[in-house]
Chains A and B, each alone.
Chain A
Amino acid sequence: EVQLVESGGGLVQPGGSLRLSCEASGFAFSSYWIHWVRQAPGKGLVWVSRIKSDGTTTDYADSVKGRFTISRDNAKNTVFLEMNNLRAEDTAVYYCARVGGRTYALDIWGQGTMLTVSS
């Protein structure tokens, strides 16, 4: 089964750090771009970051640039999102998603992991 599974969410104090993981299975992971998208409680979807299949290209939304770092380990079929200097407004469900080769769209999504930034 083709799937993505996020982990690593939790409760963090403002200014703190956390690393999210996104583990893939059922497809040739090293051939696909992976994105992170977040959704604050009761709000819409917000694109966060992306990483190229070989890890050589990364991009970030302005709201997280300089604080978040996306990386991947293709040997472990895993993408990471390292989040530093966290703010209350980073509180959200974080989804990872795959860009389909045929669709050039986010065709496979994980179930999401919740990050709460609060003191």
Chain B
Amino acid sequence: DIQMTQSPSSLSASVGDRVTITCRASQSISSYLNWFQQKPGKAPKLLIYGASDLQSGVPLRFSGSGSGTDFTLTINGLQPEDFATYYCQQSYSTLWTFGQGTKVDLK
């Protein structure tokens, strides 16, 4: 199975900050990398697909980059509603896998 490793596992930030989360795959996954946001008690929400394409309705402050094994999710100008847990997920192999998550909380 392809292992997905996110860093950091958690971070504290302030409203307006630029936040960067990284995700590394154990082997090349081309651009088959998706990012999700999850808030407590809610289902995950797709933010970014294909490593860098913004899902419809997602604010432009969210962006994704990378290919191969190394990927980044960036939030430019963190908003109060962005405090949540973020997951990367690969859809390259037959068995899809998620990263362990990165919790973004208020500093």
Please, which residues of chain B bring their CB within 8 A of the CB of A44? 87, 98-101
- Chain B's closest residue to A46 (CB) is B98
Q: Is A47 interfacial (CB-CB < 8 Å)?
A: yes
Give Cα distance in the complex from A40 to B38, angstroms. 14
Give Cα distance in the complex from A61 to B98, angstroms. 12
- Chain B's closest residue to A112 (CB) is B43
Give Cα distance in the complex from A103 to B19, angstroms. 24
Q: How many of chain B's residues touch chain A, expressed as a range?
A: 20 to 34
Q: Is B81 interfacial (CB-CB < 8 Å)?
A: no
Give Cα distance in the complex from A44 to B36, angstroms. 12
Give Cα distance in the complex from A110 to B44, angstroms. 9
Decide: B43 and A105 in contact? CB cutoff 8 A: no
Q: Is A72 interfacial (CB-CB < 8 Å)?
A: no
Give Cα distance in the complex from A61 to B94, angstroms. 10
Decide: B89 and A103 in contact? CB cutoff 8 A: no
The 6 closest A-B pairs by CB, nearest first: A105-B49, A109-B43, A103-B49, A105-B34, A44-B101, A47-B96
Which B residues form the contact surface with A (CB < 8 A)?
1, 32, 34, 36, 38, 43-46, 49-50, 53, 55, 87, 89, 91, 94-101
Since A104-B91, A105-B46 are in contact, a sample of 12 more A-B pairs with Cβ atoms closer than 8 Å, ordered by chain A residue number, is A37-B44, A44-B87, A44-B100, A45-B44, A45-B87, A47-B98, A95-B44, A97-B43, A103-B49, A103-B50, A105-B55, A105-B89
Which A residues form the contact surface with B (CB < 8 A)?
35, 37, 44-47, 50, 59-62, 95, 97, 100, 103-107, 109-112
